[in-house]
Structure formats: structure tokens, C-alpha cells
Structure 1
Amino acid sequence: MKNSNSSEFKSKAPGTELARDMGLMHVTMIGVGAMIGAGIFVLTGMAAGVAGPALILVFLLNGIVTGFTAMSYAELGSCFPEAGGGYLWVKEALPQPNGFLSGWISWFAHAVACSLYSVAFGAFAVDLLSLGGVDFSQLVPSFIKSPPHLFWTKLIAVLVGIVFVYINFRGAKETGQAETFVTMVKIIVIGMFIAFGCYAIFSGNLAEPWQSHFSGFFQKGFMGIIMAMGLTFIAFEGYEIIAQCGEEVVNPKKNIPRSIFLSLIIVVPIYLLVAFVALGAVTPEGGMPTWQYLGTRGELAMIEAAEHFMMGKIGRIIFLIGGLFSTMSALNATIYSSSRVSFAMGRDHNLPGIFGKIHIKKRTPYMAVFISGAFILFMAVVLPIEDIASATDAMFLLLFIFVNMAVINLRKNRPDLDRGFKVPFFPLIPIFATLLNLLLAVFLFFYRPLGVWVCIGYILLGVFIYYIYSRKKEFTAKAAPAIHMERPVFLENKSKYHILVPVANEQTVKQLQRYAVEIAKSRSADITALNVIRVPSQLPPSEGRKYLNESRAILEKAIGSAEERNIPVSSVVKVTHNIPKAIIETCEERKINLMVLGWEGEKPARNRVFGTILDEIIMNTVCDIVLICRPPAEEAKISRILIPVSTIKYAVLSLQMAEILVKDKQIPIVLFHATYRDDIGEIKKYYESELRKLNCGINPDIYEVKISKAS
């Protein structure tokens, strides 16, 4: 008997977890800080140009729509309080390639968001330097054909992107004090914007009644509202940051759902007030509608608005400083998150191993940082800011669709999870959220088609990479480790037919193996006896070693049964967190043709046929399966075999197995069919004729066809 190298099990692997020291208020402020970020500084003007005076309605409806997805985040965050967020949940809940695509999309979403923030930083920096007297028209090389401000905006975007890529390579990050300072600057600046705007509106000093700024409220129509909702949706995605902090939150079961909802309750009114004062307090010259004026100013619209009613140039400078602080904070966070997602995918073998490399001295995923940084800078240079924003929103909307699908799947398949919050009216709300997110993503195509085409191309590239590269690499790397393997004893002729017998206990191993041996003898097959040791997810796989002797005892019985009949047999013990996955992997590794499984016949849980483990194996295995219900403790004499059939061609395997069991024995095999029809005799003749037409080694003479009229 040959054992595999088990040095990895010599010592217990230590568990690691983060200190839970973040209370409700702390984690709520993280979500608020993430939402009141660069999006509100950059996208409000663009959205006004798309939605018109209905900009306020856009933010209100987005608050409602994002609230549905927030419920899914609250449920999953309460029962999976771990770092990882949506990517982790989708990998846990949905079959591949959904897990791969969620990570692929998350990487792109954070990277393209970083491109948006870098371009916005460039635009704010150019405007601030212009106020300081810098004439950019004199600083553009003659061979550059683009407008001077656009050239310098893109150049500064690239430079600031390089700076933050380098910061992330070094491992430097904002301290808690610096992050608090940046958040306070953002809140103070937006608070001043709202206060000065409200004073301008209600003091009566405007050149025209503020109510006139909202006339023709729906003039941009339904499509304008939907497109603007899709464009500004990124401003509401901060609750994913809350979910990613789950491992550090005190009492996450309660505090994660509470913080997600509290952050939305705080942020949505702020967005409504910002939209209200931006539309109501700005009076453009020449009679241009306020919404149109803001739309023409694009990413600088809020800066222009601040100059109108917030102390003139001083207000503009204050808002520019707030925008610069906000975009720098967002830049650092999104470079960090995009590189960590690609690093995790490299470590999980979804992307090439170069993404999973860690710098020896800096201890950072330096290649993931550099590759993500190059991707970010490329997007910043190539795409206009409107298309960058469109691509960003489309990708986050797709990620939220995956999360809503995950909550539906996990509620159905993992009812055992300890949930601190449950989505009400399940599954209507996650389904409704999925449809709304899909609707917003589709309508973004009508706003900026280029950004959406980029997303579609990126997703198709991801599907190609998964099936050509990632699928095979991930399977090879993540196969359940075998801690015991024994090669076949009898190898006179190499078998072309392979049988797998998963055995779980000594009471049924002999009986399962008896059926497998009969089949193997008739088909000149070999047998692999498999025992799977399940280790709880909280423990390292090395814990499975203590059960190896027990597994060997089970397998010795399986080997003995096969050796008595000179059947080539091998045995394998695998240790895993997931029993069905280990069995499925063994089928693929050993190119199994037939699997013999035992079933206790117990009543399964709701929405199950045979039970959680058996259902997953049957649904995800391509080989034939023989399922033996309640294998008898002692060898029982078979006196009769009944095969219920609907269509003969789908019962061929059953017929073959039955003939193997009755070989050289005078045991009748009854082919049974129930019908509502009256012409029983004709039906019987039909089935007898179909039996004789089969060309697969079936002996039609040993079958008794019985047709019964159903009542």
C-alpha cells in the first residue's frame, strides 16, 4: 500500500482572523464616506443634462432601487461576515463561470471607476491652476491636436494615477486619522454647498423664482430619467465596502444590516438636497435652463454651481479642494480594491499566476497593482469621461445582478445559514432588483453606447479566458487533496471502462462493492473506491488526517471484495470542505464512466430529490450513475426485478444493469409501464417491438412486459 506525501499534515495550520473592533457608527460612516465620494462631485451635472429638472426624482428612485439590492447585501453580509463582499458570495452560491465572471466584472468595475476619478482629478486640478493664472494653451506641444484643457486633464490623470499605483506598490495606505480628515472635508464642503444654496433659494435674491427652474419637470421623458439613474448609480454602491469590512465588525449579524440601511438613510436625503440646490439656486445668463447649463458643464458643473451662490470664486476654490480630496481618496481606494480583486483571482487560479505574486520586501501584490494600474491609465486616456462613467455604472449594475441571484440561490440551498436579516417578500424583491438593475444597464447603452460596448467586449473576453484557461487551471489547483492512494493490483489488461464507488461507512461498503464488482466483471472494468473526509470550513484540511485510519478500514473492505473476483481496484481518500465537489473532481480526474452510489431512502429537505449531497453530485456529474436505495446489511437474494419505463431508449442503462444482476440466474425482469389509455394490448406490442430494436446487447427474451391502466 502506497501513501502520498503527508508532510503538510505534520502540524496544525493556525487559523487567522481580523480583530472585531468596528462598531455600528464606525462602519456606518465608512459606508457614508464611500457613497458621498467622487461620484456626487463628478456625475451630478452630467445627470442633470440627461434627466432635466427630474434630477431630484432620479436620486429618489435610485435610492429606492438600490435599497432592494441593499437588502440582499444585508442578508449575505450578516451570514458571511468575511472580507470579500459580492465576489465571495457569488463564488459560494453560483456555479462557474459565475464566480469567475463576478470577479472579472468586479476588477473591471473598480478599475474603470478609478479611471473616472483620475480624469475628474485632472479636470479639477486644471481648473484650480487656471484660477491661479496658469495658461494651459501655451503649454501644449505643437504636435498635440486635442484641446489644451483636455490634454492637460488627461496628462494629470495619468500622473496622479502613477503616483497612487506607486503608493499601493509600496504598501502605504491612509491612516485612520487621514481618512477621517478626508471624510470630514467632503461633508463640510457639501454641507456648505447645501446651506449656501438653500439660503440663495429662500432669501428671495434670485433673478427669477426658483420654482421656474423646475418647470417642464418631465421634459426629458422616461428614457432620460432611466438613463440618468444608470449614470449616477455608482454614487450608491458604497454599501459593498461595508460588506467587505464584515470580518472586523462587532456583532456583524446585526450591525452589518443596520449600517447598510443607516448609510442609505443618511445619504439619500443629502443627494436630494444637493440636486435641489444645484437646480434651484443657479441662474445662468442668457435664459438657458439650469439643467441644460449644468449638463453642458459636465464634470465641472458642481464647481460652476458653487461659484454662482457660494461666495463666488472663493466658493469655487473651496468646492475644487473638496473635489480634489474626494477624488484622491477614491483613487487610492479603487486602485487598492481593483488590484486586490485581480490578486485574489490570480491566487485562485482564475487569472495567470503572475497576478498572485507578492513582493518579497513590500509584501504587496505588486504585479496585480502594476497590471491594474496600466489598465486604469489606458482607460483614462482612451475613453471620454462620459463613456468611462457609463462603463463603470454598467459593470457595478452587473455585479449587483450576480449578488441578487446569489441571495436567491443561498436562501434555497443553504437554509442552515445563520442570517441576521432576511430579505422580505422573498424571492420577489431580489428578482425585482435584478430586473431593475438589468433595465438600468440596458438603458445606459442609449446614453453612451461606447462605454457599454466596452463592457460587453470585456465580458466576452472573460468568458473566453475562463473556458480556455481558468477552468482547467482552477480545477487542477483546487482538486481535493488525496491523503491516501493505492494503485490497482491486477493490471493484465488496461481497462477502458472505469467505475467509482464512493463509500462512507462500513455498514454499506460491502453491499455497494458487490454490485460494482458484478458490473465491472461484465464490462472488463476497474473500480476506484473513494472515501471522502469532510473537514468543517472553520478548520484547515490538515485536520482530516486524524480520520485516515478509519477511512483505511472502510477501504480495506472495498478492496477485499474486488480482489476476490480479480477485479482491478484502487482506493483513494480525499479531505475536503465540500463532499460533492471532491466526488465530482475524482470523476473528472479518473475519467469515470459509471458511479455506484448508496442512498438511505430518507425523506429529503424541501426542493430536494435525494438530498443535498446526492442532488449536487447528480446535477454536476456527466458519468452514468447507479443509485442503490438502502443497501441491505446482508447479501439478499434477488427474486424479481421491476423496471418502470416511459420511453425505452432512456432506460437502456437500467436494462443493462438488470441483466448484469440476473446473469446466469433464472430471475424474471419485468418492464412496467402505466398508462391512461385503453389499448393496453397495442401498447404492450409496441414496447416488445422497441425492445427487439435495441442494438446494445440487450436480450429481449428475458423480459416480461407488463402494462397497467392507471386509475
Structure 2
Amino acid sequence: MIPQDEFQRPELQKGIGKTGMFSLAFGAMIGVGWVTAMGFWLSNAGPLGAVIAFAIGGLILLAIGFCYAEVTSALPLSGGEVAYAYKAYGTSKAFIVGWFLVFGYLSVSAFEAVSISKVLSYLIPSIDYWELYSVNGSPIYFSHIALSAVFVLVISAVNYTGVKNSARFQVGLTVLFISLTFIFVIAGLVMGDFNNLNPMFSSSDTGTIMSGVAMVLVTVPFWFVGFDTIPQAAEEAEENISAKTIGLLIPLSIVSAVCFYMLIIISTSIAAPWNEILSDKLPTAKAFEIATESPFLVNLILVTALVGLLTSWNGFFLAGSRVLFAMGRGKIIAPALGESHIKHQTPYKAVLFSGVVTFLASLMGPGAMVAFVNVGSLCIVIAFFGVSASFLSLRKKFPDLDRPYKAPGGSILGLIGIAGSLTILLLMVFPNSSVALVWPFEWAIFLTFSVLGILFWIFSTKSRNSVPEKERDYLILEKFV
């Protein structure tokens, strides 16, 4: 055990309760994709195909989630995956996992920054003002950039001023989201027609039914990522929350999100013939408009989408800043990112960095939204692979490590997590795969961020080497060395 007064370790405020933890994860997973990406899911796989894709993806993520639950209860530390990979494999592997996870989180953050203008422009068409340029054929308006900037500032401010503020913000919005969703889903099921589900599978140009399902399946990690916000914030949990409870909240949030996505896909497809809504900007809203003939209900859906957007954005923004903070605190990258605000006890420099990156990425506009999804999914799957491997390694290297929550099925879950994430990973990088990253745009984004990671690693060499491993152990793992 390293004496706690031997080294200075920046600390974060403890202020997230059980409801806050669940809301952080569930709120991050629901997001706004159920409004903006519904057309992609249905056009490629059809209602049943999309449900199957989410079911398979959910099972894979649940296996990974159980791995997370065990290691999170054993190592409830800020930065989650960085700490697990560090204890299992050392500094370089921790950086690889952390870097790709940061990009995955900030991809979601950028996706939400763009989505907010897209949803608002549906509510207020006149908001599309002063076209500046285009990306991938999609126009970028000055008004959209201004909106993104305002909301980036709001999210940044919430996370800058204290984790209790962020948790209250998340809980309030999640409760509101669930309440609003209940209203329009019931209306759609009652006023829709179950015959609208036909055909159950898409007859698009993807080739076979399974290729369409696969196209949706590989994006599932992007929609379900969010349960891993709990590990990022575990160090900031209230003192009265047990490590076992923190672990249990992870699979609970995954199951809740799987049920939510399946319900939304089915209810949207029942509300209106799904083939007739694919060309609409927001197919989910269009379906319920057809079913209810109620402009009020459509606006209610869009308000719900905005609420979901903010819960997702806040969750991922918090998580991304904590990963950066953990790597900075451990002096794996620039130590400045690991500083804690004297008054608010927040990773304020990591928060500011995340805000700047989110805004800059949002300048790519709607034409980059699919790229954010695909590249973000790839990065997140890389991180999931790393956590599953860390889960197995920690079981082998540290069998006596206290594990308040133990994953059911033992090491087999780690193998399932590795196999599932590796399968999706290979599908996304194999050139002849129907779901591979698109050349050159998506690969350019991925390679650019990978090169930036290499540069971050190189330019942090001096500060990284200035810290003895004994000190880094304590900075990252604290009492769990």
C-alpha cells in the first residue's frame, strides 16, 4: 500500500446517487437516434430485422456489460477503462483503450451537437438561415453553427460547475423523457395498425435479409454505448452507495435501453406503414403524425427528442472528460488535463477540451452524422474489446482482488465480449464487407484521430517518463494498487 500523503492526487467531488448513476447511463443510451436514425434502421433491416439487430447487439453488449460490472465494482475509479487496462496491461495499453474511448464519446457528443439543429429545424423551418458551405452534399447554416455553439456552452457549463449539478440535470431530464415517451408510444399503439409492420424485413438493395440486419447490428454499439458512463463516474458516487450496487446498475441500464429501442422501433412501425416514412427527415415523428393526425403529438415527440438529446449529450460529455482526466492525472498524456478545479472539484480543463473538440467536429454538419456513427462505433468497439480482455487478464493476474459484484458465468462472458466485439470490428474494417467504413471520408476521420493519438503519445513522452511507476500506480489506481 502506498501512503496517501506521499503523492498528490487530484480528487473529484462525490455527489452522484443511485438514481443519478442509472440516469447517467440510461439517459446516455437513449439519445436522439430513435428519431434521426429510424429511417436507416428500417430501410436496411425492416421492423423485425431492426429488432433482431438490436436484440443480438444487446446480448453482446450485455455480456460486455457484466464484465464492466465486475471490474467497476472492483476498481471504482474515474476513467474506468483506463484504470482497468492499466492494472491489467500497463501504460501503453491503457492509453490505446482510453484514446479510442475518448473519440467514441466525443463522436457521440458531436453527433448530438449536429442533431440539435436538425431537430429544431423540423420544429422551426425558418431556423435554416445563411448557408455557409456544404459537407457531403449537406448544407451548413450559420444559424445551426450558432445553435451548436450555444448548447456546447450550456453542456460545458453544467459539467464545469460540479458533478452534483450534472447529476440533477440528468435525473430531471431522464424522468421527463420517460414520461413523454409513455404518452406518445401508447397513442401510437392504440391508433396505429399492426398490419403496418409488414413486410417485416427490408427489401432494400443490401442484398440479403442478414446483410441488412448486419448493417444495423454494427451500429448498435454506438446506440448502446452509455452504460459505460457509470464506470467513468464511479469515483464520484456518493459514499453510501456500495461498489456492488454500482456494478449492478450497469446490466440494469443495458436491459432498460434494449427494451426502449425495441419498443420505439415496433411502435413507430405500427403507427404508420414504415415504407412510407423512410423519405422523411424524421421518420419517427412522421409515423406518429400519420397515426394520430395530431400536430401537438408530433411536437411532443420532437420535444422528447430534444430532451433525449440533452441526456445523451450530458452523459457522454461527462464520460469523455473523465477519461481525459484519468489519463492526464496518471500523466499518460498532458498532466494539465488531469487537474481538478479548486472550488468545483471537476476536471475543468478536460471539460473545456471536450467542449472545444465537440464544437469543431460539429462544423462538419449533417453530412458527417453517419460518419460520426460508424467511426464512433469502431472506436467504441475497440475499447470494448480492451475491457473484455482486461476482465480476463485481471481474473488471471489478480484472483484475490476484491470483487463485490461477480459476473455470472465467469470468464466465459469475457470470451463472449471479445468474440462479439472482434466480429463487429472485423466487419467494419474488412474491405469487402457491406458494413465496412466508407473510403475515403470515414477512414479519413478515423486515421486522422489515430494520428492525433500518436502525436499526443509522442509529445507527452517527457511528462510521462518524469513519473516513477510507483507514483503513476497511485495516481491511477489510488488504494487499489
Measure how far apart 1:76 and its partner are: 0.8
Equivalent position of 1:349 in the other structure: 331
After TM superposition, the structure 1 stretch with the greater mean CA deviation from structure 2, 437-446 or 212-221, is 212-221
- The amino acid across from 1:378 in the alignment is L
Preserved CA contact (<8 Å) 1:227 1:440: no
Deviation at 1:234, TM superposition (A): 2.4
| CA shift in 2, pair 1:360/1:538, >3 Å | closer
- How far residue 343 of structure 1 moved from its aligned partner, in angstroms, is 3.1
1:260-659 alignment, distance < 5 Å: 260-283=250-273, 289-290=275-276, 293-294=277-278, 296-297=279-280, 300-357=282-339, 365-382=347-364, 384-444=368-428, 446-447=434-435, 448-449=437-438, 450-463=441-454, 465-466=456-457, 468-480=458-470
CA contact (8 A) 1:79 1:418 kept: yes
| Residue 80 (str. 1) matches residue 75 (str. 2) | yes
Supply the distance in 1 between the matched residues of 2:369 and 2:216 (Cα, whole angstroms): 15
Contact 2:73-2:243 within 8 A present in 1 as well: yes
| TM-score for both structures, normalised by structure 2 | 0.82
1:390–1:65 CA distance, 2 compared to 1 (3 A): same
Q: Does 1:194 align with 2:176?
A: no
The CA distance in 1 between the partners of 2:343 and 2:389, in whole Å, is 41
Structure 2 counterpart of 1:230: 218
Change in CA separation of 1:14 and 1:391 when aligned onto 2, cut-off 3 Å:
closer
Aligned counterpart in structure 2 of residue 239 of structure 1, from 227, 238, 253: 227
CA change 1:399–1:164 in 2 (3 A) is: same
Aligned ranges for residues 169-188 of structure 1 at < 5 Å?
A: 169=160, 174=165, 177-188=168-179
Question: Residues of 1 paired with 2:121 and 2:5: CA distance?
Answer: 61
Instruction: Give the aligned partner of residue 491 of structure 1.
Output: none
Q: Distance in 2 between matches of 1:355 and 1:14?
A: 13
Decide whether aligned partners of structure 1 residues 359 and 120 sit closer, same or farther in structure 2, where only a CA change above 3 A counts: same
Q: Specify the SS of the correspondent of 2:228.
A: helix
Q: Which has the higher Rg, Structure 1 or Structure 2?
A: 1
1:31 maps to 25
| 8 Å Cα contact 2:60-2:416 kept in structure 1 | no
Shift in alpha-carbon separation, 1:114–1:185, aligned structure 2, 3 A:
same
Rounded to whole Å, the distance in 2 between the matches of 1:124 and 1:21 is 30
TM-score, scaled to structure 1: 0.58
Q: Normalized per residue, which structure has more strand?
A: 1
Paired amino acid for 1:320: L
Distance in 2 of aligned mates of 1:344 and 1:324 = 30
Task: Give the alignment partner of residue 157 of structure 1, picking from 132, 148, 165.
Answer: 148
Deviation of the 1:86 alpha carbon: 1.7
| Aligned counterparts of 2:138 and 2:85: Cα–Cα separation in 1 | 45
Letter paired with 2:425: A
- Give the secondary structure class of the aligned counterpart of 2:192: helix
Q: Give the conservation status (yes or no) of the 8 Å contact 2:333–2:464.
A: no
The share of aligned pairs that are identical, in percent, is: 20
Q: How many residues in Structure 1 have an aligned counterpart in Structure 2?
A: 459
Whether the 8 Å contact between 2:180 and 2:300 is mirrored in structure 1 is: yes
Distance 1:21 1:336 in 2: 12
Question: Which of residues 220, 239, 244 is equivalent to 1:254?
Answer: 244
Shift of 1:427: 3.6
Q: Which runs of 5+ in 1 are unaligned?
A: 1-7, 482-533, 540-576, 579-711
Structure 2 unaligned residues grouped into runs of 5+ = none
Q: Aligned equivalents of 1:257 and 1:50: distance in 2?
A: 35
Can you list the C-alpha shifts for 1:432-457, whole angstroms capped at 9, x where unaligned?
A: 32222122234345444233542244
1:212 to 192, 198, 218: 198
Distance of aligned partners of 1:411 and 1:365 in 2 relative to their CA distance in 1, 3 Å threshold: closer
Distance 1:302 1:149, change over 3 A: farther
* 1:4-32 residue CA offsets vs partner (Å, 9 max, x unmatched): xxxx9999989979769845x66444433
Q: Provide the rounded CA distance (Å) in 1 between the counterparts of 2:179 and 2:203.
A: 30
Higher relative contact order (CA 8 A, sep 6+): 2
2:58 aligned residue (48, 59, 63): 63
Structure 1: distance between partners of 2:119 and 2:224 = 22
Measure how far apart 1:43 and its partner are: 2.9
Give the letter for the 1:40 counterpart. Answer: W
Q: Is the 8 A contact 1:43 1:231 kept in 2?
A: no
- Letter in structure 1 aligned against 2:230: I
1:42 is matched with 36
Describe the SS at the equivalent of 1:214: coil
Measure the CA separation in 1 of the matches of 2:20 and 2:338: 31
Let me know the Cα RMSD of the aligned residues: 3.5
Instruction: Tell me if structure 1 keeps the 8 A contact 2:24–2:170.
Output: no
CA contact (8 A) 2:114 2:362 kept: yes
Preserved CA contact (<8 Å) 1:158 1:381:
no
Task: Measure, in 1, the Cα distance between the counterparts of 2:467 and 2:165.
Answer: 35
